[in-house]
Chain A
Amino acid sequence: MPSFFRKMPSAAWVIVLMMLVFRAASARYLTLGNIVNIIQQNSILLILATGATLVLLSEGIDLSAGAVLTLSGVTCARVMNGLMSSGSSDGHAMIAGVVVGLLTGALMGAITGGLIAIGKLPPFIASLGMMGVGGSLSLVLADSTAIYVNNPVFSFFGQTLDKSIHLPLMQYLSMPTFIAALVFLVVWVVLYHTAFGRYIVSIGGNEQGARLSGVNVWLRKWMVYVTAGILSAISGVTLAARLEAADSIVGVGWEFDAIAAAILGGTSFAKGKGGIAGTVLGVLVIGVARNGLNVAGVPSLWQPALMGTIVILAIVFEVVHARWREAVR
């Protein structure tokens, strides 16, 4: 088999396969509008999945990402609404709200990271506990409903540009996509061009070795979770801007999509293998699947079951494929 096929990531295979199936099911599938749509709808997931990738690279897992996403959206919306009702300008209220939202994420990440890096708890149990804590706080702070935000400056960061700039083609550009691209770029630089990034990979690859060669392992691990918390918060705040509301359960299950995207992109749990470029492909697998089910007119009732099955099968395929590639090399 030509090496091109062997090198093609399994996520790419899955995407091609799904596109063929969905194209057969609906002629509206492979249009420019729809492809842009897929990118716009999944930008926020990419931000979350970037965080999940960093955590997986350090040989950890963060099941609290969805709850942190929700909670930071809620704190952001509450602070913003509070300031606006006491007379602050939209701009100031937005800045304060976003800062509080991001701090919420950093704080949750700092606690989860502290439990894992200093308390030596297994990551899945520490983050699962924090998922309970964060989910509960979101319900309490948002009174179990959604907090609506009426702030045009804030909403701008969740919209497509045709709402604010009246030029052709502006509907193809959206702020969440810009934010995701910017976040991706920053994380890329941090991961591949700073000492911190190399430490993350070295801890994931061989924690004992990293420690012996003088890496301050607990500090770096802790920083990974703080970073992941901030990335979850960026997703949450951007999502709140897009929906013009912070819902108290909006993030339930997002962590699974994010972790799945990272794994589908070739980041394997343990051994520090993988990277964030693959994660973009992983997010696309999820985005293409969800969009395809919609465009093909699959009833929403079927979607949770089908999405879950597709994702699990894709993960199984990725793992088996990776093993096969190792074997033939």
Chain B
Amino acid sequence: MSYGIQILNGNGNAQIDSDTSNIGITVLSSAASSQTCTADLTYDLVFAKPVATSGSQTIAMDTTGNNTSSSTHTFRNNAGTAINASFIVARASSGQTASSSGYGIQVYNEDGDLAFDTGFYNGNSGLGITVFEPSMSLNGDYDFLSNDLSQYSLMNPTFPSNNSLNFFGYVYRHTTGTTSPYTSGPGIYNLSYVYINALGIGQIYFPNFGCLFLAKGGSV
């Protein structure tokens, strides 16, 4: 790089890079238990997990038609029922208004977008990704992601069905044992299926066309 700032973490991964179109995120809001969250999915990444800690809890986020800054999204299970979830909303720095006073550090990338601003950290703690699943790496058939049930799952690509026929989301499996399809025991699984009402096809699983993340919040 010929100018600007680049910050790498201990593993060499970029956290802040002003030499690219990089736009960092900061935690915008969070809640310990809520059936809804407010997020602008043009800028926001929503991470969530079911509040219930028994049995098998499915979760996805209903984003239908709500993409404004004040849009409300509902967490639902695979039966379409609203459920309580613990969530974290992280917003891209370019989607926030840069602080114009005080102290700290601001980093702009070469496109002129605000990539990082310490002024955004205002009591919502941090967010660090812990598990990454590349696009097309899962087939949707109860793909095991992690045994750590404290992690939040990326909700942006998910969708619940209001008629229980289609679902893309996660299963938080709390029950011990390796009963099929939870052959890896308690943990977080990816589940995605659609019901094709033609040619007798019925329900089929499908892969993650985009990448998925698990993340942890708090002090990172």
The finding on whether chains A and B are genuine partners in a shared complex, rather than unrelated, reads no
B interface vs A, CB < 8 Å?
Answer: none
A interface vs B, CB < 8 Å?
Answer: none
